[in-house]
Amino acid sequence: MMQERRSFPLGTLILTAVAVLGLGVIMYRYLNGLGAITDLSDGRAWGLWISFDLYCGVALAAGGFTLAGAVYIFGRRTYYPIVRSAILTAFLGYTLVILALLVDLGQPWYIWHALIYWNPHSPLFEVAMCVMTYTIVLALEFSPAVFERLNWRVPLAAIRAIQIPLVIAGIVLSTLHQSSLGSMLLMMPETLDPLWYTPILPLLFLFSAIAVGPAMVIFESTLSSRAFGHRLGADILAGLGRAIPYILGIYLVFKLGDLVVSKELGLIVSDSPHTILWWVEVLGGVVLPIIFLSRASVRQSKTKLFWCAVLVAGGLVLNRFNVSWLALGGREGYFYFPHWMEFAASAGLVAWAIIIVMLANRLLPIIHHEEVAEKVPGEPIDTTQLAARGGQVFEGS
């Protein structure tokens, strides 16, 4: 095993190639303008980058605030061993969002204008402010891992002292901008399909983000435990899986309830191609995960749990693509399909994030795996171990 990982595996080689290609494409864009590497036009001003990197990126990084909240605010110490990796992936996710925006913006060198020219009426202004502030909060939340590695005691103590306010700030900022991404689309009542357009879109965005948070943690923890050989207690991920149906249930009630109240329920059986997208999104990404994850047998199986998490994340991705692209009408006479360089730039940024996660897992104390013994499902939780962990969680607070 060890021998294999030391060599330069094919996966890493492909990852590096994708990362380098992405970088090349991005350089090309800065030299030749957006028109040179995108299929965007006046008829479709936002494309793959906004749908995938911004809309999906922010939502899929929701694992950071949901898990930090569960551990530090609600005292669910079971999840302590994975909170750090969740915060790291969230931090990288947001960094990715900002980098992608620097590619997508027409005038990226003026991004700081958002700091000095304020339009507080704009939902995008709120998103910009929150994403920026939250990225700093995430960096601070993750910084103890770096300080521990470097053995810097003073900054470590300082961060520990403000840990709880930081976590609360993270939750507040996430609540605001996850929902504001929905508010942004409220500006388009004439172009967004009424199946998705609703005044409560911000609320739906928030609920779906909270639901996908734990799903992404399951997804990433499963993958990284396989890649880096960390051992995670089965009860940890199963517990996250247990929470998902409740949140998705609330989301579904609001989503359907809104259609009933606005008397638009008939739209879900209309013969528009959008209807198919809606059904795939709701059945595959919401209803099926609720059914599956309500069964203990599914939650106890790592593989089944993983695939349920994939369903939830996939449903969210489709939802964000629908509202920001597929079900959003463009101008007459234009057609958009992403240029291959748009895909390359997005894939390149994701590849960079994976490379950094891999490096961080080798260099930094991300997971305290010596603390986490593999547990037999159903076995009562070892309270002494919990107390020891809990002491560490609330140390200095």
Partner 1 sequence: MAKGVLCDANKCIGCRTCQVACKQWNELPTMEMVKDGVLQERPKDWVNSGTLENPPQLSADTFTKVRFREVEHDGKFHWVFAKIQCMHCEEPACAEACLVGALEKTKDGPVTYDDRKCIGCRYCMMACPFGVPTFEWEKRWPWIRKCTFCADRQGGGLEPACVTTCPTGALKFGEREDLIVEARERIAARPDEYVDYIYGEREVGGTSWLYLSPVPFEKLDFPTLGTEKVTINPERAMSAVPPALVAVAALMAGFYWLTKRRQKLSQASAGDQEEKEEVTK
Applying CB under 8 A, the residues found at the interface with partner 1 are 30-36, 38, 40-43, 45-46, 69, 72-75, 104-108, 110-111, 113-114, 117-126, 128, 164, 167-168, 171-172, 175-176, 179-180, 182-184, 186-191, 199, 202, 328, 331-335, 390, 394
Q: Which is nearer to partner 1, 164 or 280 (CB)?
A: 164
**Cβ 221 to partner 1 shortest distance, Å:** 23
With vertex at residue 114, the alpha carbon angle to CA 110 and CA 118, rounded to the nearest 5 degrees, is 135
**Cβ 191 to partner 1 shortest distance, Å:** 8
239: its two tokens: 């517990």
* Local structure of 46: helix, strand or coil: coil
**Cβ 106 to partner 1 shortest distance, Å:** 2
CA distance 288 to 175: 26
**Cβ 46 to partner 1 shortest distance, Å:** 6
Q: Which is nearer to partner 1, 201 or 313 (CB)?
A: 201
CA distance 84 to 136: 15
If one counts every other C-beta atom within 10 angstroms of the C-beta of residue 163, the result is: 20
**Cβ 384 to partner 1 shortest distance, Å:** 11
| Longest pairwise C-alpha distance within the chain | 67
In the DSSP assignment, the letter for residue 121 is: T
Q: Which is nearer to partner 1, 118 or 340 (CB)?
A: 118
Q: Which is nearer to partner 1, 149 or 331 (CB)?
A: 331
Amino acid identity of residue 114, one-letter, is: A
Q: Which is nearer to partner 1, 33 or 377 (CB)?
A: 33
CA distances from 93 to 7, 138, 174, 288 (A): 28, 10, 13, 27
**Cβ 355 to partner 1 shortest distance, Å:** 28
Q: Which is nearer to partner 1, 328 or 353 (CB)?
A: 328
* Local structure of 259: helix, strand or coil: helix
